[in-house]
């Protein structure tokens, strides 16, 4: 058997994580990590080993929104690229 190491969730580690997340630019990644932090903090407050189902649902919802946002961005980028490729380029010849 492998030895089991118990890792305690210390308050200073949570504060460091929160500070790191707060330093991120607003966006999908920050939203997902914020949801994870809330879930973890709730579990720590009530002394549970895992967050509640409601908190996990919030994490999943944030992750789904992040995926949709990324997919929308990819579609817009692809559409912009296609528009640029079909736009005729005007070359000016200088004699």
pLDDT at res. 12: 65
Give the whole-angstrom CA distance, residue 27 versus residue 20: 14
26 to 23, 47, 48, 50, 74: CA distances (angstroms):
9, 30, 30, 27, 18
Reported as a single tens digit per residue, the pLDDT across 65-95 is: 888 877 777 777 777 777 766 656 555 666 5
Boundaries of every domain in the chain: 11-83
- pLDDT tens by residue, 10-52: 566 677 888 888 888 888 888 888 988 888 888 888 888 888 8
Q: Which of 71, 65, 76 is nearest to 29 (CA)?
A: 65
| Local confidence band at 6 (pLDDT 50, 70, 90 cut-offs) | very low
């Amino acid at each position: 058997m492998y030895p089991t190491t118990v890792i305690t969730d210390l308050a200073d580690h949570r504060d460091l994580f929160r500070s790191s997340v707060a330093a991120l630019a607003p966006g999908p990644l920050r939203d997902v990590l914020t949801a994870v932090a809330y879930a973890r903090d709730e579990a720590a407050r009530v002394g549970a080993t895992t967050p509640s189902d409601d908190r996990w649902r919030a994490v999943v919802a944030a992750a789904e929104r992040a995926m949709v946002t990324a997919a929308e961005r990819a579609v817009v980028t692809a559409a912009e690229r296609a528009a640029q490729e079909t736009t005729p380029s005007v070359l000016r010849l200088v004699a």
